[in-house]
Structure 1
Amino acid sequence: MTKPVEASSELNSEYLLTEQQLAGYREDGHIYLKNVATQEEIAEYEPVITDWVLKLNYHDKPVSERDTYGKAFIQIGNLWEKSEDCRRFTLARRFAKIAADLMGVDGVRIYHDQALFKEPGGGHTPWHQDQIYWPLDTDNTITMWMPLVPIPQDVGTMTFASGTHKLGYVSKQGISDESHKTLGQYIEAKQFPTVSYGAMAAGDATFHAGWTMHCAPGNPTDSMRKVMTVIYVADGSRVAEPDSKARESDLRNWLPGCKPGDLAASPLNPLVYSRNAK
């Protein structure tokens, strides 16, 4: 068994989940957890993550002149490769163990991280399923979504369609106006309950399964909505044959050197938690 990457001691302490929380996640495909990171930890990591996001921001047009996807957020992936501080955050054992516990697996690897900063006046994030982008032959995937600043009620967290993680593939549409319409109509027709957790404190987090349908509102405030996400995949998962250009792109970017049928375990996918590690 490969030894997990060591994260900082501050983020190694355990966050215990109740049986009710575990059962709720597996039924709904999403959960909201308070104080996953402390205020002191957020104060340490937020400035570093923000600095890298602003440094790597690729947008060269005002929000009003972008397409729907571009209006949704500044999206920067694999910050953990950029600095030791970002690495400690993304590879934190505390976060990884929560992911493993919620999925009920023995170990998890990083698929990749993403900073998702929604600018003042930023647009909504359309309904979508994350896993349409991922060439992974498993349903055991999960994303941690953690605000680095307080999220007020008028910005809010994502809205989740409970139980949709059990459906697998529903639509191959990427995040777009079309996906928002198609999946929104599907959710309404099938009467899936929708849940939004409203205001969140910095360091709180939601976790959602890769197939869970979700969307997010725009940002009507004059403050940046700063969110850091980490995507985990169960250790032992294999690479699927990519069936779209989006999955071909993900295979190149996040699973370099891996081929269909290989373990999803490139150098960019370190093992960050294992129950069997000494």
Structure 2
Amino acid sequence: MIATKPTYPSLQSPYSLSAQAIADYQQNGHVLLDQLASAEEVAAYRTAINVAVDRDNTETRPLAERDTYGKAFLQIFNLWERDPAVRQFTLAKRFADVAAQLMGCERVRIYHDQALYKEPGGGRTPWHQDQYYWPLDTSQTITLWMPLVDTTADMGIMQFASGSQAEGYVDKLGISDASQAYLESYVRDNGFPISSAPAMRAGDATFHSGWTLHMAPANQSQTMREVMTVIYFADGTRATEPDNDGRRADLARWMPGVRPGELVDSSLNPVV
């Protein structure tokens, strides 16, 4: 008997994105969308994503032996390069269309995907800005953050400093105890409202700007917080000269062959 390969939902159909959601994103730098993927769609992909995470995860140390960054989550990058099922999820037209509409651009490219699994007992994710790591000459960057399981506040749902994206490049520290201390004070001193969903269903999603300050509390539950993320940027973006080690590493890894000043259009950055 010939085994058949599993099939997965196409994720090509459009999502009904309201004008209010776009306005909220533009004002606050983040937005929560209900059921960007249905429970059935997420369930179909979750097994494949978990298999890929288990295969590619290299972190075997107990939590107690890790630093703050290591305790925050298991982080596995660009699963779409190596797994055809995850490729279908990451390159989903539905998700990309929403990203483009929120940012107000015609087309978007992939920067990279990453699984962010916060283990039971895993520590907080310190305040930070994602674009600290991205040598991209644009403010039109956005991250999709989707739980693959129903997620409650005690599992570590993201918290956003609303409006902070308007300040641009603030965090020169990267994810660390230092960024937590500095940016916690920065958020408080500037009076940014902190927003977080009390719970998210599998398939709900947040989108946030690359400059939006955000963090996630520790996972105080006994359940793994399984989250898949996809990062997009506007087509036509050029690479910048890296100004920190994270950006130097990202330029080499996620934009192979691209030099500062050139269009970011490598094989790892397809238009979606």
Equivalent residues of 2:128, 2:175 under 8 A apart: yes
Distance across 1 between alignment mates of 2:9 and 2:64: 43
| AA of the residue aligned to 2:69 | Y
Q: 1:197 is paired with a residue of what secondary structure?
A: coil
Q: Report the alpha carbon displacement of residue 169 of structure 1 after superposing the two structures with TM.
A: 0.7
Q: 2:250 is paired with a residue of what secondary structure?
A: helix
Corresponding residue number in structure 2 for 1:84: 84
Distance across 2 between alignment mates of 1:198 and 1:155: 11
Corresponding residue number in structure 2 for 1:276: none
Equivalent residues of 1:156, 1:198 under 8 A apart: no
| AA of the residue aligned to 1:186 | Y
1:88-127 matches, within 5 Å, as 88-127=88-127
Equivalent residues of 2:10, 2:88 under 8 A apart: no
Corresponding residue number in structure 1 for 2:209: 209
Q: Report the alpha carbon displacement of residue 9 of structure 1 after superposing the two structures with TM.
A: 6.3
Q: Report the alpha carbon displacement of residue 83 of structure 1 after superposing the two structures with TM.
A: 1.3
Distance across 1 between alignment mates of 2:41 and 2:170: 38
1:240-259 matches, within 5 Å, as 240-259=240-259
Distance across 1 between alignment mates of 2:87 and 2:40: 17
Q: Report the alpha carbon displacement of residue 60 of structure 1 after superposing the two structures with TM.
A: 2.3
| AA of the residue aligned to 1:125 | T
Distance across 2 between alignment mates of 1:165 and 1:56: 33
Corresponding residue number in structure 2 for 1:171: 171
Identity between Structure 1 and Structure 2 (%): 56
Corresponding residue number in structure 2 for 1:267: 267
Equivalent residues of 1:156, 1:197 under 8 A apart: no
Equivalent residues of 1:165, 1:209 under 8 A apart: yes
CA RMSD of aligned residues (A): 1.0
Q: 2:211 is paired with a residue of what secondary structure?
A: coil
Corresponding residue number in structure 1 for 2:190: 190
| AA of the residue aligned to 2:26 | R
Distance across 2 between alignment mates of 1:147 and 1:180: 24
Equivalent residues of 2:119, 2:219 under 8 A apart: yes
My pick for the range that moved more, 147-156 or 127-136, is 147-156
Corresponding residue number in structure 2 for 1:44: 44
Q: 1:271 is paired with a residue of what secondary structure?
A: coil
Alpha-carbon displacement from aligned partner over 1:58-103 (angstroms, at most 9, x marks no partner): 1121012110000000000100011110000000000000000000
| AA of the residue aligned to 2:226 | K
| AA of the residue aligned to 2:113 | D
Task: Give the gaps of 5 or more residues in structure 1.
Answer: 1-7, 273-278
Corresponding residue number in structure 2 for 1:232: 232
Alpha-carbon displacement from aligned partner over 1:219-260 (angstroms, at most 9, x marks no partner): 111111000000000001111111111100000110010001
Distance across 2 between alignment mates of 1:229 and 1:171: 21
Closer, same or farther: CA 9–218 of 1 in aligned 2, 3 Å: closer
Equivalent residues of 2:124, 2:156 under 8 A apart: no
Task: Give the gaps of 5 or more residues in structure 2.
Answer: 1-7
Corresponding residue number in structure 1 for 2:4: none
Query: Does residue 1:26 correspond to 2:61, yes or no?
Result: no
My pick for the range that moved more, 46-55 or 149-158, is 149-158
| AA of the residue aligned to 1:262 | E
| AA of the residue aligned to 2:243 | D
Distance across 1 between alignment mates of 2:187 and 2:223: 31
Q: Report the alpha carbon displacement of residue 217 of structure 1 after superposing the two structures with TM.
A: 0.7
Corresponding residue number in structure 1 for 2:5: none
Q: Report the alpha carbon displacement of residue 118 of structure 1 after superposing the two structures with TM.
A: 0.4
Distance across 1 between alignment mates of 2:154 and 2:162: 22
Q: Report the alpha carbon displacement of residue 198 of structure 1 after superposing the two structures with TM.
A: 1.8
Distance across 2 between alignment mates of 1:101 and 1:119: 33
Q: 1:181 is paired with a residue of what secondary structure?
A: helix
Q: Report the alpha carbon displacement of residue 186 of structure 1 after superposing the two structures with TM.
A: 0.5
Distance across 1 between alignment mates of 2:263 and 2:62: 41
TM-score by length of 1: 0.94
Q: Report the alpha carbon displacement of residue 156 of structure 1 after superposing the two structures with TM.
A: 4.2
Structure 1's consecutive aligned runs of 4 or more residues displaced over 6 angstroms after TM superposition are none
Distance across 2 between alignment mates of 1:156 and 1:53: 19
Q: Report the alpha carbon displacement of residue 194 of structure 1 after superposing the two structures with TM.
A: 0.6
Distance across 1 between alignment mates of 2:16 and 2:261: 34
Q: Report the alpha carbon displacement of residue 153 of structure 1 after superposing the two structures with TM.
A: 2.8
